[in-house]
Chains A and B, each alone.
Chain A
Amino acid sequence: MAVSTDFLRSLPYLANLAADDVERVRRDILELSFDKDEFVLLEGEPCRGLYVVKSGRIRIFKSSPEGREHVLLVAGAGESFNDVPVFDDGPNPASGTALEPSVVYLIPKKTALALVADCPAALGIIRVFAARLRRLATVVSDLSFRSVVSRIAKLLLEMAVAEQAGTPIPRLTQDEMAARVGSVRDVVGRALRTLEKAGAIEIRGQRLVVTQPQKLLMLVEDYDKSRMP
């Protein structure tokens, strides 16, 4: 069944559009039905577009490699999801499944982008916001799924690699490292000692040398195994 113009106009994204633009969206939009627990989209897959719930509820969540989940949003009728990759050109930042039999509209990425194509400034601003949202979603999943050791390993690896590439990297105190990974100094100190004992880093005075980056990478990729007892 074709989507109604009134429904489209009720969406914040489309409320202020000219009639022609709404009609273009109405022509391009796809209606998709999902059974309970069926996947609507997968984290890491290429973005098909912006989704709007017509009926039912869609659970949007991030997953750890071990299958643990963190729900970011439960989208009900009239709510959108998967906004970020439409505008920052990245993959889907999270997965979505239907909590009950649901119908969603898919506004193809190309159609959604066309709505702001004549305003490059707006598109630029949206891209910045989208990138920041994606970054925040990553921070949320890091805090949910990673141990402090894994978060510190990720921070050290990113900074050491950037330093090697010639990017100016600030020197950090242990308090500043703790602030960056959402922890406290004592715990960071223990994490650094754990990494040193594992042979991944050497602390030489004011220099922290990443001697085995592949060991840090293993901790970054293997979240739960780095959990401290």
Chain B
Amino acid sequence: MVMKASGGEHRARCCVAIPEIDTSKCISCGNCVEECPVGIVTLVDGKAVITNPEACSYCTECESFCPSAAIRCPIEIVLGAPES
């Protein structure tokens, strides 16, 4: 099962996003728990879960340390004005 913060266009357009976790691929290694800089990933029933989505900075560390590609942090690429 893939867990997401919310679905579709809304999720793509807003800035609140969390990594997608495919729990069927999760091997309970705990790397994501150890590497998350804000400590919001935990293992629940042996599967990675993001417990505080609001605190996620989408740094992609969990994705980079996941050995089973269970965690994905896809990025939307768009044109836009600088944020100032």
Contact = CB atoms under 8 A, between A and B. Distances in A.
Contact of B78 (A160, A185, A205): A160
B83 interface: yes
B79 A163 contact: yes
Interface stretch (B21-29, B34-42, B55-63): B55-63
Given A171-B12, A205-B16, A211 B81 contact: yes
Interface in A194-217: 199, 202-213
A213 B81 CA distance: 10
A173 B63 contact: yes
A220 to B, nearest CB: 15
Contacts of B82: 199, 202, 211-212
Most chain A CB atoms below 10 A, which of B15, B73, B78, B83: B78
Interface residues of B, number: 22
B47 interface: no
A189 B60 CA distance: 10
A148 interface: no
Interface residues of A, number: 30
Contact of B77 (A163, A185, A211, A212): A163
Interface string A172-183: 111111000000
Given A171-B12, A205-B16, A164 B77 contact: no
A173 B74 contact: yes
Interface of B: 12, 15-17, 57-58, 60, 63-64, 69, 72-83
A205 B79 CA distance: 15
Nearest to B63: A173
A24 to B, nearest CB: 50
Q: Which 9 A-B pairs have the closest CB atoms?
A: A171-B74, A206-B17, A209-B80, A211-B82, A205-B58, A159-B77, A160-B79, A205-B15, A164-B79
Contacts of A189: 64
